[in-house]
Structure 1
């Protein structure tokens, strides 16, 4: 368990630095302004992962992280207003970019396993990606036309 926590902290620290840089370059939020918010988000994520590891229930760790985040930001909870203020300084895309990059690297490490599943899996994956893209484009087109934007 201690080894897992050390690994999680190392990954969170790397992602935190990348988030700080992305928030600074992309959204002009100075690192020392966003640092408390990123530290809070990292702390909530770490606690959620630890709870997931300790409890015998088979819920995904994101459920625990979401529940903890919800609880600590309930109006009336001690410090909830300050947590909301600090985390408001961190933009969503500054968070999503390094996390998605990390996910891509993780998938890339197991690319050989993915290829071993056969060419049919690759075709199905491409069709799913294309269908998702096409479906999103159609929905966006309908909504934008309905609103009179295009």
Structure 2
């Protein structure tokens, strides 16, 4: 996929997110546009870094690092970045991303059919393991911080 296609998809996702933000959370799109632009900038920067840096890491690593660095308390502009990004609700952002993932995985249905019932068993173990692992980590963190 070339950069133009990637940018088109990102702009479409941003537009759908703004509509979802308005419908689901009653956030005026004009208020949320700066936050959406911040998020788009972070994503595009992360994608560029993933192409430029010779270490082969998934682009989500770079995107996450940029987002974390920009919102560290004390980082110049962190309060503004956080305030703008908070106007874009997470669930409004999930809807178009998950819809795109579903459409993209639809082209692999023939490959999934070849795997048969085994993929269901493996998927179940992966989901269960991920859930239990997340619950254990959450329990430890909550205990260590005195929340429970």
The bucket for the TM-score relative to the shorter chain is 0.7 to 0.9
Q: CA RMSD in A?
A: 2.3
> Where do 5+ consecutive residues of structure 1 fail to align?
144-150
Quick check: 4-13 or 19-28, which moved more? 4-13
Q: Which moved more, 1:69-78 or 1:80-89?
A: 69-78
TM-score by length of 2: 0.79
User: What residue in structure 1 maps to residue 16 of structure 2?
Assistant: 18
User: Is the CA contact (8 Å cut-off) linking 1:5 and 1:50 kept in structure 2?
Assistant: no
Instruction: Name stretches of at least 5 consecutive residues in structure 2 with no aligned partner.
Output: 140-148
Query: C-alpha deviations, 1:32-78, integer Å up to 9, x for none?
Result: 11111011101101110111011111211111001101111222322
Scaled by the length of structure 1, what TM-score is found? Answer: 0.78
| Correspondence for 1:106 among 104, 109, 129 | 104
Number of residue pairs matched by the alignment: 134
Q: 1:76 aligns with which of 71, 74, 77?
A: 74
1:148: which partner in 2?
none
SS at match of 1:76: coil
The structure 1 segments of at least 4 consecutive aligned residues displaced by more than 3 Å after TM superposition are 122-125, 127-132
